[in-house]
């Protein structure tokens, strides 16, 4: 296995569109890194540049101790698992998995050993004689992963491999991919727009937006300490509630749409007069009956919809000039009436600079 290092990598197309903007990133040997972001953020383009399927406009890509910018994809010692499986329909599962090894003139006995071992790891041994059309979507994805495993590459690249599967099968395949990574300790880079996949699979999450990296960190760091307004709103389901406001006193933010919330002045550098975006996770809001009295902490919340999600319920509505979500346990009582009061503890309130969108957290 090998590390992957990107240094100021850019991709600009002939029409002038800059898909990737000076991205620098280190993927440690054996790490599972997920590139996460909305459609069009540049994550798949970045993956394809690592694979050699897209040329780098500027910057360098290093796999192990080699700069690979000018090296052909077949010579980069990587294996890629695609969204559409890319299996040969006329070949058996065995032949699909063995195809790349045969092209490399790998000895027949070695091909047999590698294919059988990968099939055993992925629990597809009984399917080796079948054609892809005889397999389910999840089985085809296992074959695609097996074809990558038999090559014993330095780096595995996954381009949204689960997006064509139904919700239940995606959960199963996430477990399979994580279990497989734990067993073979392969350096892996996985692209997805699904934050659940990112949070459950990754050692390191790379959140991208508009061709740039917004934040790199563990799943817990990304969720609990989002570095930008974009990350705060993108991570979480629903995402963080964000409300415009101004700091009016140490530890107090006044919301533009009405109401006040406390914040921890010891960890957030926001002197009075600072224009901010005030953030609160849906599960950190507390619902109370009635409207807040003048000068008290909290804000008026007009309830519109309640989404029942089994173990939890999400109350949606408006307050402080924004659409808000409040997450509660299924057994939590909801006060009568459409006009409610929402409060939050100071430790659960985030502040972002209104102009730059960067966190104001100092520790």
pLDDT for the residue numbered 331: 87
Is-same-fold flag (4-226; 230-353)? no
Q: Which two tokens stand for residue 96?
A: 């699909």
What class is the 230-353 domain?
Answer: mainly beta
pLDDT for the residue numbered 72: 95
Question: What ranges do the domains of the chain cover?
Answer: 4-226, 230-353
Distances (CA, A) of 35 to 212, 221, 307: 11, 15, 30
Cα torsion angle, 267, 272, 277, 279, sign = positive
Q: 340 and 285 in contact (C-beta within 8 Å)?
A: no
pLDDT in tens, the chain (363 residues): 799 999 999 999 999 999 999 999 999 999 999 999 999 999 999 999 999 999 999 999 999 999 999 999 989 999 999 888 888 999 999 999 999 899 889 999 999 999 999 999 888 999 999 999 999 888 898 899 899 999 889 999 999 988 888 888 888 888 888 888 888 888 999 999 999 999 999 999 999 999 999 999 999 999 999 999 999 999 998 999 999 999 999 999 999 999 999 999 999 999 999 999 999 999 999 987 655 555 568 999 999 999 999 899 999 999 998 999 999 998 888 887 788 899 999 999 999 999 999 999 998
pLDDT for the residue numbered 114: 93
pLDDT for the residue numbered 241: 97
pLDDT for the residue numbered 154: 92
Q: 147 and 67 in contact (C-beta within 8 Å)?
A: no
CA angle 13, 17, 20 (to 5 degrees): 80
CA 357 to centroid of chain Cα atoms: 19
Cα separation, 17 vs 323, whole angstroms: 33
CA 259 to centroid of chain Cα atoms: 33
- pTM over cut 0.85: yes
Task: Determine the length of the chain.
Answer: 363
pLDDT for the residue numbered 225: 96
**Domain spanning 4-226: CATH 3.40.50.300:** yes
Residues whose CB falls within 8 Å of the CB of residue 18, separated by 6 or more in sequence, listed in order? 10, 11, 12, 211
pLDDT for the residue numbered 177: 87
């Amino acid at each position: 296995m090998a590390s992957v290092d990107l240094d100021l990598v850019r991709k600009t197309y002939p029409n002038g569109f800059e898909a990737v903007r000076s991205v620098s990133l280190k993927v440690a040997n054996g790490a599972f890194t997920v590139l996460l972001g909305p459609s069009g953020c540049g994550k798949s383009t970045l993956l394809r540049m690592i694979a050699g399927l897209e040329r780098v406009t500027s910057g360098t890509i290093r796999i192990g101790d080699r700069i690979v910018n000018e090296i052909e994809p077949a010579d980069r010692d990587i294996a890629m698992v695609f969204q559409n499986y890319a299996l040969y329909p006329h070949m058996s599962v065995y032949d699909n998995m063995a195809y790349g090894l045969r092209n490399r003139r790998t000895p027949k006995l070695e091909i047999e050993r590698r294919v059988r071992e990968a099939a055993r790891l992925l629990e597809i041994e009984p399917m080796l004689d079948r054609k892809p059309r005889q397999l389910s979507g999840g089985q085809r994805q296992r074959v695609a992963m097996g074809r990558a495993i038999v090559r014993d590459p330095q780096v595995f690249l996954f381009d949204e491999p689960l997006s064509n599967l139904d919700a239940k099968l995606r959960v199963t395949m996430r477990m399979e991919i994580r279990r497989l990574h734990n067993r073979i300790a392969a350096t892996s880079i996985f692209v997805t727009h699904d934050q659940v996949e990112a949070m459950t699979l990754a050692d390191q999450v790379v959140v991208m937006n508009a061709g740039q990296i917004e934040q790199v960190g563990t799943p817990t760091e990304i969720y609990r300490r989002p570095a930008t307004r974009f990350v705060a709103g993108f991570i979480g389901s629903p995402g963080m509630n964000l409300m415009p406001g101004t700091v009016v006193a140490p530890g107090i933010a006044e919301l533009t749409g009405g109401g006040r919330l406390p914040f921890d002045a010891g960890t957030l550098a926001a002197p009075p007069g600072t224009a901010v975006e005030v953030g609160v996770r849906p599960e950190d809001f507390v619902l109370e009956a009635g409207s807040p009295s003048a000068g008290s902490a909290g804000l008026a919340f007009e309830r519109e919809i309640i989404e029942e999600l089994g173990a939890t319920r999400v109350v949606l509505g408006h307050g402080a000039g924004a659409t808000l979500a409040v997450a509660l346990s299924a057994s939590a009582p909801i006060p009568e009436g459409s006009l409610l009061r929402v409060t939050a503890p100071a430790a659960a309130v985030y502040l972002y600079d209104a102009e730059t969108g960067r966190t104001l957290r100092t520790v």
